[in-house]
Amino acid sequence: MIKFLFKGLIRDKSRSLLPIIVVAIGVMMTVFMQAYMHGVFYDSIESAARFTSGHVKVVTNAYKENLSQMPNDYAMTDIGGVLEQLNAALPDMEWTDRIMFGGLLDAPDSMGTTRAQGNVGGAGIHLLGTEDEIIRMDLKSKLISGRFPEKSGELLITNELFKKMKLQLGDPVTLISSTMYGDMAMYNFTVCGTLHFGVSAIDKGMIYADMEDVRMALNMEDAAGEILGFFKDAPYENDKAHAVADQFNAENTDEADVFSLTMMPMSMTNGMDFMITYAENAQLIVILIFVFAMSIVLWNAGLLGGLRRYGEFGLRLAIGENKHETYRSLVGEAVLVGLVGSVIGIAFGLFFAYLIQEHGIDAGDIIKDSTIMMPTVFRAQINTTTYYIGFIPGILSTVIGAMLAGIGIYKRQTANLFKELQA
Amino acid sequence: MKTIVDVKSLTKNFPVGAGFFTALKDVSLQFNEGEFAGLVGPSGSGKTTLLNIIGSLDVPSKGEVVVLQRSVGKLSPKEAAKLRKEELGFIFQSYNLLPVYTVFENVEFPLLLLNMTAEERKERVMETLKWVGLTDKVKSRPAQLSGGECQRVAIARAMVKRPVLVLADEPTANLDSKNSHNILQTMLKLNEELKTSFVFATHDEKVISYLKRIIRLEDGKVVADELIAKPSK
């Protein structure tokens, strides 16, 4: 009997091929949309991770307590040793040290007296001899004029501050700040390039200099305020980051020692907890709405497929098939159609998602004047959910549609089903 | 002769709006084994309704219909399906063949429900197709057949399980005169050779000319029930 019904299913294109195409298209769209939404939301999080928090961040206990103030008097020392230790313990991660600081930027006139001054936030990052940080922070797309530092003593400055202080490329500027020991620090730089991030808080006054220059300026030899860790070639995963941090802290953190090292996952730094939760929930809501919409479409397809066959059911009942058998075969067909359609849809969805994951959609020209810091290339991101989410509308909705249509088999008198056959 | 259908004071109502339409009013009848009988009357006289109830596709509103010692109104859906599967055959006005299956497969379908082996099924189907003269069309699909051939396939499908009773609702309505006579002769032959009982619902004179018993219905009532000693055909 199963073979007989299967034969009918295969031969009747309106019962097999057409519904499979409908299911596959619906599932493909669902899978692609899930991967795309996941990619877009997590690109925003990745962007924040690259700029400020890393996937995990290592600081001292005391630094952590006053994280928002960037207290370099509680910075880590023997940074070479710490990085060596981290690379050995967690080889699957990339590590980079940074110094965040605040200060006053002074622009002198030709006589050496102050021409303009501005409050600045600053970051010491590795800019000389390596492009790792430039690539990680996507600074190339943010460089408005000039170039990146090529030698010691050169500085990048945000374009807004650059204009406000009426600076020219090549102008000397003096950073006035405090050393990690609390003394006053003054250090001369030459402006070599300007940056625009599209975020007013940053654009108002931010400078970037090479790590060694900042160490020199703030008297932080072999020291750094923060070490940022990134999963190699992988996006941020909250559970994984927590697990890494918990293990590191269990082995290295002494709560009683203010200079003891502690690791924080991204979600525990700079209010990122809210952003990650928001991203996850917003993504979930958008995907649920889409899955729901697709489910209604496929449910209807299943329903119409079933209703169209009431006459055939009437005939089968007249010949002697009982209602349970008819109903079971209808649902069985829906499972088969849903399964085949889902597998095809998921395969195509994954293929298109993979293309967008690898090549991305370059929206650089569209968002060049954007006031939100976001990646210029939107990418999909395939995760575990991408592999199974298509089965929800694909199988579940198709089967529910068929089941609802099949209720008519029970509710209607056999003779009425039969009349539909005669009609 | 053994009674196979006993209709006792049968009334059938259908809900229409707030009230009811009475399709059959206090009908009493009996059909015996080997009959070639017809329910004859104009449209709306209750022929198909009576045929549906005898075929356990519908249930009486009042009275009782006993088919092969089973009271139709008291059968569970599963028992009714069993009765249709094992004992009854249906032939319809519009053939109602499953279009995606071949002639062989259409005729084979009732046997699948009876869980017969593939060999038994093949033997039985081929034998039945021989009766109706369609052994050369086993692999054809319904769309490739003429109306007369389609109705012969439908007869084969009804006969393949060797039913005690075949119920035929306007079986010649879509056929021309020549095909109608062919079909009726085939059914008459099966009736005489296999002793299968046939009950028709019809108002076609061609069918009536073959009947050995004519039951006339008007407005849901039996107005005449006559045995034909020598049918005109």
pLDDT band at A412 (very low <50, low <70, confident <90, very high): low
Amino acid A415: pLDDT: 57
pLDDT band at A285 (very low <50, low <70, confident <90, very high): confident
Q: Is the pLDDT of residue A61 over 50?
A: yes
Angle between helices A2-11 and A323-359 (to 10 degrees): 50
Three-class DSSP category at B149: helix
User: Counting every residue, how long is chain A?
Assistant: 423
- How is residue B96 written in tokens? 């109602």
Closest of A191, A155, A199, A200 to residue A170, by C-alpha: A191
| Listed range (A49-53, A76-80, A85-89, B111-115) with the worst mean pLDDT | A49-53
Is A14 in CB contact (< 8 Å) with chain B?
Answer: no
To the nearest whole number, what is the mean pLDDT of chain A? 86
Distance of CA A244 to the CA centre of its chain: 19
Closest-CA residue of B relative to A320 is: B85
Distance from the A317 Cα atom to the nearest Cα atom in chain B, whole angstroms: 7
The per-residue b/e assignment along B29-63, b for 16 or more CB within 10 angstroms, e otherwise, is bebeebbbbbbbbeeebbbbbbbbbbbbbbbbbeb
pLDDT band at A273 (very low <50, low <70, confident <90, very high): confident
Is B101 in CB contact (< 8 Å) with chain A?
Answer: yes
Answer yes or no: are the C-beta atoms of A96 and A104 closer than 8 Å: no
Predicted ipTM?
0.83
State the residue for tokens 């020692």. A257
pLDDT digits (tens, 9 = 90+) for A204-237: 899 999 999 999 999 999 999 999 999 987 778 8
Contact between chains at B52 and A323 (C-beta distance less than 8 A) = no
Answer yes or no: are the C-beta atoms of B159 and B131 closer than 8 Å: yes
Residues of B in contact with A321 (CB under 8 A): 81, 85, 113
Answer yes or no: are the C-beta atoms of A300 and A401 closer than 8 Å: yes
Indicate the residue of A11, A312, A319 with minimum beta-carbon distance to B113: A319
Amino acid A423: pLDDT: 44
- How is residue A154 written in tokens? 């050169």
Amino acid A364: pLDDT: 64
Distance from the A297 Cα atom to the nearest Cα atom in chain B, whole angstroms: 27
Give CA–CA dist A287/A36, Å, rounded: 10
Rg (chain B; Cα; Å): 17
Three-class DSSP category at A269: coil
Amino acid A246: pLDDT: 94
Mean pLDDT calculated for residue range A250-266: 91
Closest-CA residue of B relative to A324 is: B78
pLDDT band at B12 (very low <50, low <70, confident <90, very high): very high
pLDDT band at A374 (very low <50, low <70, confident <90, very high): low
pLDDT digits (tens, 9 = 90+) for A15-58: 888 889 988 998 999 899 889 888 888 777 888 888 888 999 99
- How is residue B26 written in tokens? 């206090």
Amino acid A365: pLDDT: 67
Is A7 in CB contact (< 8 Å) with chain B?
Answer: yes
Beta bridge partners of B168: B91, B200
Amino acid B70: pLDDT: 94
Percent of chain B at pLDDT exceeding 70? 99
Contact between chains at B113 and A415 (C-beta distance less than 8 A) = no
Amino acid A234: pLDDT: 75
Is B85 in CB contact (< 8 Å) with chain A?
Answer: yes
Residue B165 CB neighbour total at 10 angstroms:
23
Backbone angles phi, psi at B33, to 5 degrees: -60, 135
Distance from the A335 Cα atom to the nearest Cα atom in chain B, whole angstroms: 21
The C-alpha angle with vertex A19 and arms to A405 and A341, in degrees rounded to 5, equals 115
Is A413 in CB contact (< 8 Å) with chain B?
Answer: yes
pLDDT digits (tens, 9 = 90+) for B43-102: 889 999 999 999 998 899 999 999 999 999 999 988 999 999 999 999 888 888 888 899
pLDDT band at A366 (very low <50, low <70, confident <90, very high): low
Is B96 in CB contact (< 8 Å) with chain A?
Answer: yes
Write the DSSP string, A52-114.
II-SEEEEEHHHHHTGGG--GGG-BS-HHHHHHHHHHH-TTEEEEEEEEEEEEEEEE-TTSSE
Amino acid A170: pLDDT: 94
Q: Is the pLDDT of residue A176 over 70?
A: yes
Size of interface A-B (CB pairs under 8 A): 71
Indicate the residue of A8, A323, A415 with minimum beta-carbon distance to B58: A415
pLDDT digits (tens, 9 = 90+) for A308-347: 777 778 888 888 888 888 888 888 988 999 999 999 999 9
Backbone angles phi, psi at A278, to 5 degrees: -60, -45
Residues of A in contact with B90 (CB under 8 A): 318-319
Q: A197-203: long-range contacts (C-beta < 8 A, 24 or more apart)?
A: A197/A142, A197/A158, A197/A373, A198/A367, A198/A369, A198/A370, A198/A371, A198/A372, A198/A373, A198/A374, A199/A371, A199/A372, A199/A373, A200/A371, A202/A121, A202/A158, A202/A373, A203/A158, A203/A159, A203/A160, A203/A161
Answer yes or no: are the C-beta atoms of A27 and A382 closer than 8 Å: no
- How is residue A63 written in tokens? 């630094």
Answer yes or no: are the C-beta atoms of A106 and A117 closer than 8 Å: yes
Q: Write out the H or E segment, with its range, that includes residue A333.
A: helix A323-359
Q: Is the pLDDT of residue B204 over 50?
A: yes
Amino acid A2: pLDDT: 80
Residues of A in contact with B93 (CB under 8 A): 422
Which residues neighbour A12 within 8 Å (Cβ) at sequence distance 6 or greater?
A: B99, B100
Distance from the A11 Cα atom to the nearest Cα atom in chain B, whole angstroms: 6
Q: Is the pLDDT of residue B220 over 50?
A: yes
Give CA–CA dist A218/A223, Å, rounded: 10
Give CA–CA dist A19/A24, Å, rounded: 8
Answer yes or no: are the C-beta atoms of B47 and B41 closer than 8 Å: yes
Distance from the A415 Cα atom to the nearest Cα atom in chain B, whole angstroms: 5
